[in-house]
Structures are given as C-alpha cells and as structure tokens.
Amino acid sequence: MLEKNSKLKKKTTKKIVMKAPAVLRADCFRVLDENNRPNEKVEPKLSKEMLIRMYRNMMATRLFDERGMLLQRQGRIGFYVPSFGQEAIQIGTAAALKNSDWIFPSYREPGVFLSRGAGLFEMLCNLWGNQSDVCKGRQMPVHYSFSDLKLFSVSSPIATQVIQAVGASLASKIRNEKDIAITYFGDGGTSENDFHTGLTFAGAMKTPTVFICTNNGFAISVPTQKQTGAQRMVDKAIGYGMPGIAVDGNDVLAVYSATQEAADRARRGEGPTLIECVTLRMGPHSSSDDPTRYRDAQVFEAWAKRDPIQRFRQYLERKKLWDEKKQEDLEKELKATLAEAVEKAEKEPPPQLDTLFEDVYAELTPQLVRQKEDLLAEQELRGKFENTSEAFPL
C-alpha cells in the first residue's frame, strides 16, 4: 500500500481540490467507492464489535462538535473548534493504535480523545475552564490533556506537537519498546518549521512515528494551493527519507488500513510514515470564522455528499450490522449522556484562587508563598474577585 520514495506516483491533479463531482484526487487510497461499496481486495477484516465501536465513536464526535458550537452560540462558552467532516480521520487512526501508544493531537481531534476513553465531563470542563478542568482554567478551550491516557496536551502554536511526537517515539526506540507515537496536523502545519524539523529528525533517526496530515483544503482561510508549490502533501515525504501515502479522508476503513500498516511498520523498526488524509473542512475554522466567505459552494456540496458518517453507515447497513432503529437508539443514548455531562460541567465553579500557584514547582518557593499570602489577603479585603474578561476573541 505505502509508496516507497523511488516509486511515488508522479501523476497529480492540477489542484488539491477539484471541481464537483470528482472532488477526491485519483491518487488517494480508498476502500469504499463513491457508492460506498468496499473493494474486497483491500477491505480490512474487522470484527463486528470493532466496526460498531468505530461508528459509535464517529457519531459521538459529531454530536460533541454540534453541542460545542451550540454552547458557544448561546454564549455559555467563549470559543470552540469543530471537526465536522473529519470524523473518519480521527476514528480511523485511533482505532489502529494500542493503548500504550503516545498521541500528540492538534486542536481538531476531539474524536481521538473520545476513542481513547477521555471523559465527556472532563472535556467539557476544559471548555468552561472550571475547577474540574484538568488544566484548572489555564489552557485555551478545546485544548484537552489526559496524561494517564497518553494523550499529550493540545497547544495553540501550529505543529509544535510534531517534534514532541518524534522525541517520544525516539525514547521508545531507545528503550527497545514497541510503542509508537502518532501526531496530527493540518495542511497549514506543513508550512511550519516544526514540521520540517520533526520529519528531518524522524527520517534520519528512523523513529517509530506516524505523521497524520489532515489536508482539509484550508489553513484558516488560505487554500492549500496558495500555501505550497507541492501538488500533493504526501510528496513531502520524499525529502525526509520516509514512505508516504495519500488516502481518502472520508473513508474510515481506508484511514484505518493506512494507519495500521504504518503503525506495524514503525513497530518493526522500519521508521516513520507520512499519511495525507484528503478531505474538506465542512465547518468553520473556529466559532469565530465564516467559511462561506472563502469556500467554493459547489465543492462544499460535492464533499457534503461524501459525509464520512453516512458513508460508513451505508457500509454497515449492507453488512446487516445497522438499521434505523439502532441509529435512533444510539442518537438518543449519546445525546442524553452528553446533556447530562453538560449540565454537570456548567454547574462547576471556577478554579479556587490559590490554585494559581500550584503546578509550577514541586514545592512553593519562598517568593511564591509570599505572593500567595498577599493575594489571599487582598481577596479577603475585597470579598471576591470578579471575572471581567470578555468572550474568547479568536
């Protein structure tokens, strides 16, 4: 499946995103055709339980995104970053990993967190930045962190997670472990120095790293063809001495297969792989963005017909694994669970003032002890501190 450096295909399309109806590049590996029927020669042999779990996680991701955007529009949280249309990439990659593997996500992978077992309540608390937030209100919204699940903290600077993943995977190699590291970034991330540094190091050291480039057409509002002279992001693998493959990012089975092969390759000690997942960002860059100002409506409609959840659902229905009743039951269950978690998280108070001094040093320095005492004394005089900050600006 993977293309070796000397055999990477040279035929490419003139543009990253083509006009409807042929929106998917011809070079992309796929399992499902445009009628959502599988190519049995490359169809992964997954159990019924695994297939349904993947579909469930895709639905949970979509509903979590919808609720996050709704909460922001209602003014109950300040900011949200949705991943509409990219569920197959998140769930397909996560399903191919072991629980011992390290994950270094970007800010558009809530489904990866949900798949790994992160709690809805804890993720929602991050959106409010309340006292039950793992980061105690110090992180931006949608910047989750679950070290116990080997889910590294999301950060805002673009592509910083790439070099961190390479470092973690090198540590695994030095220890003679079989754990790998996977990292996610967008097409815009490939223009960053951290991308170049990370892939250069990974290629030279043959680290067990899987690089997931989600090519969703835009870096905020800048189209892919204005970001780089490369017609395929996967071609960037050549210069770093690693194989690469472009896949249909709206085909969860194709994403799973490509990731599984790359992970197996890494565990065998054969080094890193770059996977380009070709899709379209169906929602805004964030809750502050209006994609209709820069996105081609025809292309959007064509990609909308390739909704990854609907495609996978049709696949399951043909296998007699899914039907309308199961769909209704699943949506009812997931929405009820989400509503309960939202209600609980929204009631949580803000972090206690004295937590401002925690998690800096193992023990407070004399200077911090004095500062803490002074702040608490001022709080006692004032009665309380009012939150005068405005809604998140991005």
55 among known catalytic residues: no
Same domain, yes or no: 339 and 371: no
CATH number (domain holding residue 237) = 3.40.50.970
User: Hey, what amino acid is at 147?
Assistant: S
Rounded-to-integer distance, Cα 296 and Cα 282, Å: 11
CA of residue 377 relative to chain centroid, distance = 43
Q: List, as one string, the DSSP characters of 75-137.
A: TSSS-----TT-HHHHHHHHHTS-TTSEEE--TT-HHHHHHHT--HHHHHHHHHT-TTSTTTT
Do residues 69 and 113 both lie within one domain?
yes
pLDDT tens-digit series, residues 88-130: 999 999 999 999 999 999 999 999 999 999 999 999 999 999 9
Catalytic site residue from 143, 265, 285, 306: 285
- List CB contacts of 309: < 8 A, sequence separation 6 or more: 55, 58, 59, 62, 87, 88
118 and 209 within one domain: yes
pLDDT digits 0-9 by tens, 353-385: 889 998 889 999 999 999 999 999 998 898 877
Q: Is residue 268 part of a domain?
A: yes
Do 375 and 274 share a structural domain? Answer: no
Total-model pTM: 0.91
Residue 294 designated active-site: yes
Tell me: the pLDDT tens digits for 288-326?
A: 999 999 999 999 999 999 999 999 999 999 999 999 999
Check whether residue 260 and residue 318 sit in a common domain. yes
Catalytic residue among 73, 76, 138, 294: 294
Q: Which one of 25, 143, 232, 281 is the catalytic residue? A: 281
- Domain span at residue 131? 5-346
Active site (annotated) includes residue 281: yes
